[in-house]
Structure 1
Amino acid sequence: MSDIAVHGVGTSHFGRAPGTDLVTLAWTAVSEALADAGPGPIDAVWVGTVFAPAGVAQRVLRAMGITRVPVVTVENACASGTTAFAEACEAVRTGRYGRVLALGIEQMSTAFDGAITPEDTDPEGATGLALPALYAMAATRYLHDGAVTPAQLAAVSVKNHAHALHNPRAQYSGRYTVDEVLASRMIADPLTLLQCCPTSDGAGAAVVGPARGGAREVGVRGIALRSGAPWGRRSPHVWGYDIVAETAADALAAAGLHAATDVDVVEVHDAFTIGEIVTTEALGLVAPGEGGKAAETGVTALGGAHPVNPSGGLLSRGHPLGATGLAQLAEIVWQLRGEAGGRQVDGARIGLVETMGGGVSALDGNACVVAVLEAP
Structure 2
Amino acid sequence: MTDVHVSGVGMTRFESRSDRSVMELATAAAERALADHSRSGRSPSRDQVTSLHVSNALAEALDTRTGIANALASALGIEGVAADRIENTSASGASACHRGVDAVASGASDVALVVGVERMSVAETSAVTEAIGRLVHDREYVQGVTLPSFAGLAAATYLDRYDAPREALAAVAVKNHHNAAANRFAQFRTEIDVADALGSPVVAEPLRLYDCCPMTDGASALVLSRDDGVRIEGIGGATGTHAVADRDDPLAIESVRLAGERAFDRADLTSDDVDVACIHDAFTILELLELEELGFYEPGTAWRATLEGATERDGDLPVNPGGGLKARGHPLGATGLSQIVELVWQLRGDLTDDRQVSDARIGFAINVAGFGNNSVCTVLSHD
What TM-score do the two structures reach when normalised by structure 1?
Answer: 0.93
The aligned counterpart of 1:346 is 358
Distance 1:127 1:20 in 2: 37
Contact 1:148 1:292 in 2 (8 A): yes
The aligned counterpart of 2:202 is 186
Contact 1:147 1:292 in 2 (8 A): no
Question: Of the candidates 63, 69, 80, which is equivalent to residue 75 of structure 2?
Answer: 63
Distance 2:373 2:249 in 1: 19
Question: Of the candidates 119, 123, 128, which is equivalent to residue 107 of structure 1?
Answer: 119
CA offsets, 1:27-60, max 9 Å, x none? 2210110011111311011111100132122223
Contact 2:241 2:247 in 1 (8 A): no
Contact 1:107 1:201 in 2 (8 A): yes
The aligned counterpart of 1:6 is 6
Find out whether 1:224 has 2:231 as its counterpart.
no
Distance 1:61 1:187 in 2: 40
Contact 1:43 1:99 in 2 (8 A): yes
Report the Cα offset of residue 76 of structure 1.
Answer: 0.5
Distance 1:233 1:68 in 2: 46
Contact 2:154 2:250 in 1 (8 A): no
Contact 1:147 1:290 in 2 (8 A): no
CA offsets, 1:97-151, max 9 Å, x none? 1000111110111244056222297111112212111111110111221353210
Note the residue ranges of structure 2 that are not aligned, 5 or more in a row.
Answer: 39-43, 60-64
Shift in CA distance, 237/262, structure 1 to aligned 2, threshold 3 Å: farther
The aligned counterpart of 1:362 is none
Describe the SS at the equivalent of 1:343: coil
Report the Cα offset of residue 178 of structure 1.
Answer: 0.9
* Paired residue type of 1:372: V
Report the Cα offset of residue 233 of structure 1.
Answer: 5.7
Describe the SS at the equivalent of 1:309: coil
Contact 2:112 2:224 in 1 (8 A): yes
Distance 2:78 2:206 in 1: 47
Contact 1:51 1:106 in 2 (8 A): yes
Report the Cα offset of residue 189 of structure 1.
Answer: 1.1
Describe the SS at the equivalent of 1:116: helix
Shift in CA distance, 112/125, structure 1 to aligned 2, threshold 3 Å: farther
Distance 1:121 1:350 in 2: 36
Describe the SS at the equivalent of 2:329: coil
Contact 2:155 2:206 in 1 (8 A): yes
Distance 1:19 1:37 in 2: 27
CA offsets, 1:174-230, max 9 Å, x none? 2222111010111111111111101101101001011x3x3xx10011100112235
CA offsets, 1:212-269, max 9 Å, x none? 3x3xx10011100112235556633525x22111110111111111x21210000010
Sequence identity percentage = 39
Contact 1:355 1:370 in 2 (8 A): yes
Find out whether 1:159 has 2:205 as its counterpart.
no
Describe the SS at the equivalent of 1:60: helix
Distance 1:132 1:147 in 2: 22
The aligned counterpart of 1:308 is 319
Report matched runs for 1:1-376 at 5 Å: 2-38=2-38, 39-40=44-45, 41-52=48-59, 53-113=65-125, 116-117=129-130, 118-119=133-134, 122-210=138-226, 212=227, 214=228, 217-229=229-241, 232=245, 235-238=248-251, 241-257=253-269, 259-341=270-352, 342-358=354-370, 365-376=372-383
Describe the SS at the equivalent of 1:66: coil
CA offsets, 1:149-190, max 9 Å, x none? 210010000000001111000000222221110101111111
Shift in CA distance, 234/317, structure 1 to aligned 2, threshold 3 Å: closer
* Paired residue type of 1:129: V
CA RMSD of superposed structures (Å):
1.7
CA offsets, 1:272-307, max 9 Å, x none? 100101111111111110111111110111111011
Distance 1:322 1:69 in 2: 21
Describe the SS at the equivalent of 1:59: helix
Alignment: residue pair count: 365
Q: State which drifts further: 225-234 or 301-310.
A: 225-234
Distance 1:183 1:89 in 2: 44
Describe the SS at the equivalent of 1:51: coil
Q: State which drifts further: 161-170 or 22-31.
A: 22-31
Describe the SS at the equivalent of 2:299: coil
Distance 2:323 2:247 in 1: 34
What TM-score do the two structures reach when normalised by structure 2?
Answer: 0.91
The aligned counterpart of 2:41 is none
